[in-house]
Structure 1
Amino acid sequence: MRFFANANFDFIGKRVLGYTLSGILLTASLAAIFVRGLQYGIDFRGGSELVVAFGEPVSVIDARTVLSQALGSEPQARLFGSSGELQIRTTDTEVNLLTEQVTRALTAAFPGNSVQVVKTDVIGPVFAQDMQEAAKMATLFSLLVISIYIFIRFRTFIFAVSVLATLIHDMIIIIGLFTLLNGVLPFNMDIDQVLIGAFLTIIGYSLNDTIVVFDRIRENRLIHKEISWVEIVNRSINQTMSRTVVTSLTTFMVVAVLFLFGGAVLKGFSFALMIGIALGTYSTIFISCPMLVDMRKQKQAEMPRKKAEIRSKRVTVRGIEG
């Protein structure tokens, strides 16, 4: 990575572009979430999942149409692993009756093609609600602990606020992307336990990348006391650029291999990780660090006013005492 050995990019000077892009992504993500709603998997809403194996490939659209007529409601149906396997998801929790209905309907619709249910899963609505609440609490608790850790490590609240805002930024965009693309891409993109595990992994990865840059900012602030805060932050990003790019690329390539060859079950998980790695690298450079600059400027701008208020209060108190 000799290209980044003497990097001198003006990231902070272009922070408005980063804010603008993030604003567009956040707006689109929130719009998708509010319009379509969170697409929970059966882990978090209850229901049944069946994997049906066919002797010969079948059309997903034809199978979905047949099942909609047989079950009285349209289930989720998508390819699972190969063109000869179909994953069927429905909110019905009577898995034995569901298995019988699905087998009978598909056998009648595709004569001469063998139909076999090779996997069934069922989760009750009460247990699904408990799992949903536990997942939310785990995510919120991890964000809280991370914020406290950053505050203790760097001894100032602007670092903690910057990290917390960046992590929330990343999570909203990923959830919005999964909500928007659910049913479009040919693999499971429901929000379930697997995806929550991906979220927590992304939080850890993004945090690690951000702390590396923050540590360099703290070091440069102690060494270069004569230069401005903007230059310190910009120099720190450039100095860690080589490490950031190498780590992100190598991790992304490993996860990409998992996405391509890990099977249908891991596609949603690995896809979320790939997006999270790219987004975490972007948000460290264009969100976390620029926020440090802007919050410090705001803090410094408020200091004279606060000092003036304190002096005014002291004068008032002395006048009363006199």
Structure 2
Amino acid sequence: AVDANVLIYERTKEELRAGKSLGKAIADGYGNAFSAIFDSNLTSIITGVVLFYFGTGPIRGFATTMIIGLVASFLTAVFLTRIVYEALLAKDKLKNVTFTTSITKDLLTNPKINFLAARKVGYLIPAGIIVLGAISMSTIGLNNGIDFTGGRNYVVRFDQDVKTDEVRDMLDAQLDGSVSVIQIGTPDQVRVSTNYKIDDSDPSVDQEIESKLFEGVKSLLPAGTTLDQFTGQYIQSSQKVGPSMADDIKNAAILAVIFAMICMAAYILLRFRDISFSVGAFASVAVTTLCIISFYTLLWKVLPFSMEVDQTFIAAILTIIGYSINDTVVVFDRIRETIGLYPKRDRYQVINDALNSTLCRTFNTSLTTLVVVLCIFILGGATIRSFTFAILLGIIIGTYSTLFVATPIAYELQKKKINKKAAAEAGK
């Protein structure tokens, strides 16, 4: 939601630096930022629709909330805040507003970074991460959750705080080692996941596993607790995902991610009428997605929290696809605007200027979003830590991909097109 506000205020600051009056600067700030805000919100809504269509249960709820939030924040940022500003301007109550502070007044006002000169190194870094991820995928693999492997989940609440390592050790022998235990919410509650006898459809297997759970954790229960008491009072919920259902969920998740990336590329092509922008956007979201997956296969045995790859992880990936495309759309919108004003200007200069002129907005949006997600990561509890970690990675990698993947690729393709046109004209 902060993205639209940052865009408007950054454009307003540019207009003020150009010498316009406050009223004119605010009006032009809203007007010039509108197309980028509209495109970035609509691309995020598209990923939300994809998520709703392919997701199930809580994931659909998340997608619905995201879509409602996007529509609400768009209306608030574009229309309601403007009404407030116009009302305050009419009453002469905004005379001293500068949209800056003493600290940020000169922050990234005229950066001269040559992004395109560093594009080859920019390509190599994510390529290296993806190659390492591919090697790790073929050797270590991903920590696939029950959604993708099939299995059973049990949420168990004890009368006292427990340690997940101790609970796992107790259950390993009972369930032949195919068990994972993570803390959920409070220290006295854990989620036990197991693939034990998942291929066996006999109803008695459910009772067998509950009995094994009971025998494994009996020492953590009050003396005299029976199996019936354990299943009735201590097991808070249970869930079973069969192998065929897991395969269906996994296939739907892969389709959802691919379909979302194709939708992004198609929308960019529709809006910008240039295949170079479309290819750059697709490459950016693909690189971001593959880098996140690479980090998950490289780190899941190292980091001290669960990094399961399940439907929630796919929701994070789709959210990041929508988020990372926002940065790309803003830069592409500025390139299109500059080309419209100066069609004969050198394309290398146009694209570098666009990246530099939108850098403050990129920095502000990424930093504010990062702070929010970091708070959720630290304070949000174990159940969503894997989700928020994927979002954290996505914000960093998505911002990098806009600067060093999407825009440079668009430049390479545009340069070829311009050179080809020049060669054809010279031949005439």
Distance in 2, Cα, partners of 1:4 & 1:283: 20
Range moving further from structure 2, 127-136 or 192-201: 127-136
Q: Aligned AA for 1:102? A: L
Task: Note closer, same or farther for the CA distance 1:53–1:204 as it changes in structure 2 (3 Å cut).
Answer: same
Q: 2:278 aligns with which of 149, 152, 160?
A: 160
Task: Note closer, same or farther for the CA distance 1:275–1:75 as it changes in structure 2 (3 Å cut).
Answer: same
8 Å Cα contact 1:64/1:74 also seen in 2: no
1:251 corresponds to which residue? Answer: 369
Q: Aligned AA for 2:131? A: T
The alpha-carbon deviation at position 262 of structure 1 amounts to 1.9
The alpha-carbon deviation at position 74 of structure 1 amounts to 3.3
1:233 corresponds to which residue? Answer: 351
Query: What is the CA deviation profile of residues 269-321 of structure 1, one whole-angstrom value per residue up to 9, with x for unaligned ones?
Result: 1111111111111110111111122223344455577789x99xxxxxxxxxx
Distance in 1, Cα, partners of 2:329 & 2:387: 25
Count of residues in correspondence between the two structures: 310
Residues 1-322 of structure 1: pairs in structure 2 closer than 5 A: 1=104, 2-92=106-196, 93=198, 94-108=205-219, 116-301=234-419
Q: Aligned AA for 2:378? A: L
CA RMSD of aligned residues (A): 2.6
Distance in 1, Cα, partners of 2:155 & 2:396: 32
Query: What is the CA deviation profile of residues 159-182 of structure 1, one whole-angstrom value per residue up to 9, with x for unaligned ones?
Result: 111111111101111011112222
Query: What is the CA deviation profile of residues 244-286 of structure 1, one whole-angstrom value per residue up to 9, with x for unaligned ones?
Result: 1111111111112222222221111111111111111111011
Distance in 2, Cα, partners of 1:144 & 1:226: 32
Gaps of 5+ in 1: 312-322
Distance in 2, Cα, partners of 1:113 & 1:193: 39
Task: Note closer, same or farther for the CA distance 1:211–1:113 as it changes in structure 2 (3 Å cut).
Answer: farther
Distance in 2, Cα, partners of 1:188 & 1:274: 15
8 Å Cα contact 2:276/2:410 also seen in 1: yes
Distance in 2, Cα, partners of 1:260 & 1:112: 36
Q: Aligned AA for 2:377? A: F
Distance in 1, Cα, partners of 2:185 & 2:175: 24
Q: Aligned AA for 1:31? A: I
Query: What is the CA deviation profile of residues 93-133 of structure 1, one whole-angstrom value per residue up to 9, with x for unaligned ones?
Result: 44432222112111147886987333322112222221112
8 Å Cα contact 1:15/1:290 also seen in 2: yes
Task: Note closer, same or farther for the CA distance 1:229–1:304 as it changes in structure 2 (3 Å cut).
Answer: closer
Q: Aligned AA for 1:12? A: L
After TM superposition, the runs of 4+ consecutive aligned structure 1 residues lying more than 6 A away are 109-115, 304-308
Q: Aligned AA for 2:134? A: L
Q: Percent identity at matched positions?
A: 33
The alpha-carbon deviation at position 37 of structure 1 amounts to 2.3
Task: Note closer, same or farther for the CA distance 1:275–1:262 as it changes in structure 2 (3 Å cut).
Answer: same
1:314 corresponds to which residue? Answer: none
8 Å Cα contact 1:57/1:85 also seen in 2: yes
Range moving further from structure 2, 189-198 or 84-93: 84-93
Task: Note closer, same or farther for the CA distance 1:55–1:183 as it changes in structure 2 (3 Å cut).
Answer: farther
SS in 2 for 1:76: strand
SS in 1 for 2:107: helix
Q: When the two structures are superposed, what TM-score results if normalisation uses the length of structure 1? A: 0.87
The alpha-carbon deviation at position 200 of structure 1 amounts to 0.9
Distance in 2, Cα, partners of 1:112 & 1:12: 69
Task: Note closer, same or farther for the CA distance 1:231–1:243 as it changes in structure 2 (3 Å cut).
Answer: same
Range moving further from structure 2, 82-91 or 193-202: 82-91
The alpha-carbon deviation at position 29 of structure 1 amounts to 1.8
Range moving further from structure 2, 260-269 or 180-189: 180-189
Task: Note closer, same or farther for the CA distance 1:13–1:220 as it changes in structure 2 (3 Å cut).
Answer: same
Distance in 1, Cα, partners of 2:386 & 2:275: 35
Q: Aligned AA for 2:370? A: F
8 Å Cα contact 2:147/2:311 also seen in 1: yes
Range moving further from structure 2, 189-198 or 91-100: 91-100
Gaps of 5+ in 2: 1-103, 199-204
Distance in 1, Cα, partners of 2:187 & 2:252: 35
